[in-house]
């Protein structure tokens, strides 16, 4: 490929700023078509973002001869189906995270990629963000010695739409759509980055429960996991605490110090060693997926290699399946 001409399936909220505009900002890349089942919303997105074409049928977008790469930004329940359809039409796919609802669905996409010879990419864009590349650099240069332990805490209060007199939870807490709950949505980013930075996780186990009864999905998960390198990890995810207890923090404990960083809400990295404390502040770019999209475009043009593939992306689902015993 020379010019990468993207079509988006599912032009919802994630595509408004995080990803959509980036397709036109990356060299040799353009957004030429969007699709949403609600045609009026697809047309509105097309008009606001200057996209030449819009559709309300997925096959019309996939089979558009002007589209040569497909970004699937729908909820996970249709990721596998749409990815397979696109690859059967000869088009590489970039899939929102989590890659699918479970490892089996991810593997079906991976196998289709192998059958067709087409690349599969997953939107684990932290692999390309300067903030997380700095964390990886600190690990690789042994800023805190050898890593011994990883600890993750992600405790949030319920979303506004999940409580009150007439709660209307969104699709992320309906397992038949998302594969789980907020854990599946957010921990997928965390485990993907940990494998990028520390290597494969070889085993994981945990407990997933629903304590507050606000929706069907689990709202608390506790996990232990072990990397092939021997590093051990623990994590707790709870989505029904009060706002004063809200925390998004990860710690890497090493033989010579500690690194504290954050996955979602802060841009600081703290390194503590016997020599003192050093802090870094690395805000995200305006379009958070742009660095990843740049690397994908380069690979499709034969100029590089994306750090996020179907094989790496599916492993987050595999780990979450282990933890939730699915």
* Residue 231, domain CATH: 3.30.360.10
Please give the mean pLDDT across all residues of the chain. 98
Number of neighbouring beta carbons within 10 Å of residue 245? 10
Whether residue 181 is found in the same domain as residue 272: yes
Q: Which residues does residue 236 pair with via DSSP β-bridges, in sequence order?
A: 153, 222
Whether residue 117 is found in the same domain as residue 150: no
Report the pLDDT value the prediction gives residue 109, as an integer from 0 to 100: 98
Number of domains in the chain: 2
Would 322 be classed as within a structural domain? Answer: no
Whether residue 191 is found in the same domain as residue 165: yes
Distance, in Å, from the CA atom of 263 to the CA atom of 37, rounded to the nearest integer, reads 32
Q: Which residues of the chain have pLDDT under 70?
A: none
Report the pLDDT value the prediction gives residue 17, as an integer from 0 to 100: 97
Distance, in Å, from the CA atom of 234 to the CA atom of 223, rounded to the nearest integer, reads 6
Would 325 be classed as within a structural domain? Answer: no
The residue segments making up the domain with residue 151 are 130-283
Q: Which residues of 152-190 are buried (b: 16+ CB within 10 A; e: fewer)?
A: bebbbbbeeebeeeeeebeebbbbebbbbbbbbbbbbbb
Whether residue 203 is found in the same domain as residue 295: no
**CATH code for the domain in which residue 76 is found:** 3.40.50.720
Distance, in Å, from the CA atom of 41 to the CA atom of 10, rounded to the nearest integer, reads 10
Whether residue 164 is found in the same domain as residue 263: yes
Report the pLDDT value the prediction gives residue 325, as an integer from 0 to 100: 93
Report the pLDDT value the prediction gives residue 326, as an integer from 0 to 100: 77
Strand 93-95 to 120-122 pairing: parallel
Would 316 be classed as within a structural domain? Answer: no
């Amino acid at each position: 490929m020379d010019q990468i001409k993207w079509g988006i399936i599912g032009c919802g909220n994630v595509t408004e700023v995080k990803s959509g505009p980036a397709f036109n900002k990356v060299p040799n890349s353009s957004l030429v078509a969007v699709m949403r089942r609600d045609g009026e919303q697809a047309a509105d997105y097309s008009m606001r973002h200057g996209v030449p074409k819009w559709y309300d049928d997925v096959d019309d977008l996939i089979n558009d001869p002007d589209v040569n790469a497909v970004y699937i930004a729908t909820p996970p329940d249709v990721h596998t189906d749409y990815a397979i359809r696109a690859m059967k039409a000869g088009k590489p796919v970039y899939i929102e995270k989590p890659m699918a609802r479970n490892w089996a669905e991810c593997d079906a996409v991976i196998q289709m990629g192998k059958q067709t010879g087409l690349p599969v990419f997953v939107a684990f864009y932290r692999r390309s963000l300067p903030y997380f590349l700095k964390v990886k650099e600190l690990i690789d240069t042994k800023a805190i010695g050898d890593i011994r332990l990883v600890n993750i805490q992600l405790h949030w209060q319920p979303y506004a739409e999940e409580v009150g007199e007439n709660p209307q939870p969104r699709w992320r807490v309906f397992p038949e759509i998302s594969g789980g709950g907020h854990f599946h949505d957010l921990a997928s980013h965390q485990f993907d980055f940990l494998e990028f930075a520390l290597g494969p996780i070889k085993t994981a186990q945990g407990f997933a429960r629903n304590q507050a009864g606000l929706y069907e999905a689990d709202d608390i998960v506790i996990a232990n996991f072990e990397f092939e390198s021997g590093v051990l990890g623990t994590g707790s995810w709870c989505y029904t605490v009060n706002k004063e207890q809200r925390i998004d923090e990860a710690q890497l404990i090493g033989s010579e110090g500690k690194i504290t960083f954050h996955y979602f809400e802060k841009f600081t990295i703290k390194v503590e060693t016997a020599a003192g404390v050093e802090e870094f502040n690395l805000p995200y770019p305006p379009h958070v997926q742009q660095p990843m999209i740049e690397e994908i475009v380069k690979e499709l043009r034969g100029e590089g290699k994306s750090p996020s593939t179907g094989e790496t992306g599916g492993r987050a689902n595999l780990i979450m399946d282990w933890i939730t015993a699915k």
